[in-house]
Amino acid sequence: MTGPGERQYPRPVRSGPGSEPGRGDRRRDPRDGRDGARPGGDRRGGGRTGRTDVVDRPRRAAYDALAAVHRDDAYANLVLPAILRDAGLYGRDAAFATELTYGTLRAVGTLDAILTDAAGRDVERIDPPVRDALRLGAYQLLHTRVPAHAAVSATVDLVKTVGYGASGFANAVLREVAGRDADAWIDRIAPSMADDPVGHLALAHSHPQWIVRAFREALGGDLGETTRLLIEDNQPPPVHLCARPGLADPAELADEVGGAPGAFSPYAVYLSGGAPGDLPALAQGRAHVQDEGSQLVAAALAAGPLDGPDGRWLDLCAGPGGKTGLLGALAVQRDARVTAVEVAEHRARLVERATRGLPVNVLHTDGRTVGADPKLPEEHFDRVLVDAPCTGLGSLRRRPESRWRRQPSDLPPLTRLQRELLTAGLRATRPGGLVAYVTCSPHVVETHVTVTEAARRCGAPVDFVDARPLLPAGMPGLGAGPTVQLWPHRHGTDAMFLAVLRRG
């Protein structure tokens, strides 16, 4: 188990549909425990031979995705679709593999603490392939309706193919895990809420402590709300479409795609059942996939009251072009043009693709070159969006592994860049013009601190505009202003922050 030569992942071997003769007859719904995962599978030849045909394909796919994330630093949302395609998994099997992958990745902090206790050794000392298999098994035991015997035997079968000689160990650890339900495990291993609320919430809801602390601070110290946010972060994210104004009617689009009009954004359509697939409305540029919160903050910039000219709009951090797409569609109706700036070339190309047919000029350059680049003059633009790069702590639902990758040390370089970009945005704005500063993070260092610092340093007078009236009337939970923080648990959106500033 612990020899240095063994502490690595074997080459992924995918069991595609054609590689399992007769398997289709044997394998039934993997959730009902009759999925072909056999206790005592050693006798059937899995064992040290590395055979993968003893492992059902959804679990194998989930394992491969997990291994790619942990071994190669891959992103689950990028690798999993290819793995599912290669394995020929569709429908319920694909949904099960997706739930296992995303659920396990989100829960990994708590699962590791439980596995450490159950194994009697730090989970870091377990071979990585066996560790990932155990995580998958523990997730099934504690967070799905897979019967315990099926979760254990399927995981032991998996371990036989990835962690040579470790099946007995895996069996023993998982039987220990199965001895308690999730709540009982939290009672056993988490500090009490009274003694250590952050430690408790971090373990109970599988978030790093520094993120729990940041959420708690942004929520004014309210532990009840912090808990609701953490619970929401562990749910599969909704998929929203933006019906582009002038190009699609949201009610008609909702009928067309079998969705429902959004609760807040006048352009939002909620898709039921996950992935948007190849909807004609997307291919035809009538709509794009975009979280409702992103729609609201982009539309708020367009809604801000402005005296004087209003034809020059700037999006200083545009890639991949979601908000530029909405601003571009609004610009058509308002006889305006959008200049979209993006520093990463491939993302600049994505902005071009996302805004085809709209009055948008894409500039592949650094947004901080305002004043130095003749295409980005100072005091030139009427409305400016600075949707700055950030930690993304507001969209943890969408990237299940990101909470474990992000570190507090990411904050200083990011906040410096945010400050420089917002300062550049303010310099690019004409006197009287508006700037919307947006982050998909509620961390106060990326929100209030950045805005206050940039406004202080930009060398021009700057006033806060109350952003709340720029959002749809009657929207609840917008706080005391002038900035707005949206929340998954309050609004069903990503945790987008919005500050609207007027250049004096």
Ligand X SMILES: C[S@@+](CC[C@H](N)C(=O)[O-])C[C@H]1O[C@@H](n2cnc3c(N)ncnc32)[C@H](O)[C@@H]1O
By annotation, the residues acting in catalysis are: 440
Would you call 317 exposed, middle or buried from its count of C-beta atoms within 10 A (0-12, 13-18, 19+)?
A: buried
Window contacting ligand X (CB under 6 A); options: 26-34, 61-69, 180-188, 342-350: 342-350
- Using the rule CB under 6 A, which residue among 237, 259, 304, 322 binds ligand X? 322
Shorter beta-carbon distance to ligand X: residue 113 or 393: 393
State how far the Cα of 178 lies from the Cα of 172, in Å rounded to an integer. Answer: 10
Asked if residue 425 binds ligand X (CB under 6 A), the reply is: no
Is 78 an interacting residue with respect to ligand X (CB under 6 A)? no
Query: Considering the complex, what minimum distance in angstroms separates the CB of residue 290 from ligand X?
Result: 7
Helices (H), 27-90: 57-72, 76-87
Please work out the total of residues on this chain that contact ligand X, with binding judged by CB under 6 A: 19
- Closest CB 343 distance from ligand X, rounded Å: 4
- State yes or no: residue 320 binds ligand X (CB under 6 A): yes
Q: Which residue stretch of 41-49, 83-91, 268-276, 336-344 sits at the interface with ligand X (rule: CB under 6 A)?
A: 336-344
Binding residues for S-adenosyl-L-methionine: 317-323, 342, 366, 387
Among residues 176 and 366, whose Cβ is nearest to ligand X?
Answer: 366
* Smallest distance, ligand X to C-beta of residue 353, A: 12
Residues in 294-313 that interact with ligand X by CB under 6 A: 294
Could you say whether residue 410 binds ligand X (CB under 6 A)?
no
* Binding letters toward ligand X, positions 142-181, x by CB under 6 A: ----------------------------------------
**Does a cis peptide bond (omega within 30 degrees of 0) precede residue 320?**
yes
321 binds ligand X (CB under 6 A): yes
Give the distance, in angstroms, between the CA of residue 429 and the centroid of all CA atoms in the same chain. 32
Residue 269: phi, psi to the nearest 5? -130, 130
Tokens at residue 60, please? 């194998």
Single out the residue of 382, 387, 401, 494 in contact with ligand X (rule: CB under 6 A).
387
- Does 454 contact ligand X by CB under 6 A? no
Q: Which of 159, 7, 182 is nearest to 111 (CA)?
A: 182
Q: Between 15 and 423, whose beta carbon lies closer to ligand X? A: 423
Q: Give the separation between CA 487 and CA 149, rounded to whole angstroms.
A: 39
CB 322 within 8 A of CB 288: yes
Cα distances (angstroms) measured from residue 13 to each of 26, 65, 101, 292 = 20, 12, 17, 39
The continuous run of DSSP H or E covering 138 comes out as helix 128-143
DSSP string, 412-465: HHHHHHHHHHHHHHHHHEEEEEEEEEEES---TIIIIIHHHHHHHHSSS-EEEE
Check binding of 343 to ligand X (CB under 6 A): yes
Write down the least CB distance from residue 365 to ligand X, Å: 7
- List the binding residues: 317-323, 342, 366, 387
- Which residues have C-beta within 8 Å of that of residue 452, sequence separation ≥ 6? none
Give the separation between CA 29 and CA 481, rounded to whole angstroms: 51
Distance CA 113, CA 122 (A): 8
Residue 189 to residue 149: CA distance in whole angstroms: 24
Q: Give the CA angle between residues 426, 427, 428 to the nearest 5°.
A: 90
Cβ distance to ligand X smaller for residue 130 or 317: 317
CB of 331 to ligand X, least distance (A): 15
H or E, element range at 288: strand 287-289
CB of 392 to ligand X, least distance (A): 8
Q: Which is nearer to ligand X, 158 or 421 (CB)?
A: 421
Interaction between residue 342 and ligand X (CB under 6 A): yes
293 binding ligand X? (CB under 6 A): no
Among 237, 259, 261, 389, binds ligand X (CB under 6 A): 389
Q: Does 367 bind ligand X (CB under 6 A)?
A: yes
Name residue, tokens 């399992």.
20
* Member of 54, 212, 229, 318 binding ligand X (CB under 6 A): 318
Count CB atoms within 10 A of the CB of residue 48: 12
Nearer Cβ to ligand X, position 157 or 352? 352
Give whichever of 12 and 377 is closer to ligand X, judged by the CB atom.
377
403 and 396 in contact (C-beta within 8 Å)? yes
| C-beta separation of 405 from 464 below 8 A | no
> Closest approach of Cβ 185 to ligand X, in Å?
36
Q: Which is nearer to ligand X, 317 or 384 (CB)?
A: 317
Shortest Å distance, C-beta 428 to ligand X:
12
Q: Report d(CA 451, CA 447) in Å as an integer.
A: 6
319 binds ligand X (CB under 6 A): yes
- Interface residues with ligand X (CB under 6 A)? 294, 317-323, 341-344, 347, 366-368, 387, 389, 421
